[in-house]
Amino acid sequence: MAQNDGSIRLTLFKTAATVGLTAILLFLLRVVLGQLPQMDAMTGGHLGGDILRFLASDGQAQTQQTVAIVLMVLCFGVAVALVYGAERVIRRRRGSR
């Protein structure tokens, strides 16, 4: 039974870490996207504006929702990969002791 308790705790911890990392990544994405107009102003380019226009999808709500969902899923995928990688590193370090 003790093995199951540890497994449940580990699963809960990894789930919380994944959700937390997803939220942090989404926040960072929002901050970076908010800085794009300033980047354009500093560089004299228009790449940031082009990215924002693409993400805005010409004001079509359905397409905007799709873009938002894709960005959320990508952030979630990155969070899962980070948690998985961290778990592997921790297990490898524990095994080498």
pTM: 0.79
Give the whole-angstrom CA distance, residue 72 versus residue 91.
28
Does residue 19 surpass a pLDDT of 60? yes
The answer for residues whose C-beta is within 8 angstroms of residue 75's C-beta and 6 or more apart is 22, 25, 26, 29
Q: Which residue has the higher pLDDT, 84 or 1?
A: 84
Contact 96, 35 (CB under 8 A): no
Spell out the domain ranges in the chain.
2-95
Give the whole-angstrom CA distance, residue 74 versus residue 2.
35
Tally Cβ neighbours within 10 Å of residue 83: 20
Mean pLDDT over 89-97 rounds to 84
**How sure is the predictor about 78, in pLDDT bands with cuts at 50, 70 and 90?**
very high
Mean pLDDT over 79-85 rounds to 97
